[in-house]
Amino acid sequence: MFCPKCGSILLPKSEKGKKVLMCSNCKYTKEGTTQFKEQGKTEAHKVDVVEKEVETLPETEAECPKCGNYVAYVWTVQTRAGDEPETKFYKCKKCKHIWRDYT
């Protein structure tokens, strides 16, 4: 329900033992036969925290220029004009070094 004076939403409140709808903006109150359903607090959902870094990128064979490892994650980004090829980025699986390939 909305306030007839200002158009804000009417919120349920308890006033002197009565349940009414009150506008939080202009304090308009409405008594009546409006049905209220009180809800208790629900239990909080547990959230699992992952302590390690999880990579979802595909892996490929590429030599890391920093440590020499041959396994890297790969992804592409359009860093130049639309008629030019994408830039390939690599991230070493071992040392996490990131480098790019413009070809």
Tokens of 99: 């480098």
Q: Which of 15, 31, 55, 84 is catalytic?
A: 84
Q: Which of 38, 43, 48, 83 is catalytic?
A: 83
Specify whether the CB–CB gap between 58 and 84 falls below 8 A: no
- Using only the alpha carbons of the chain, give its radius of gyration: 30
Active-site annotation holds for 84: yes
Residues taking part in catalysis = 83-84
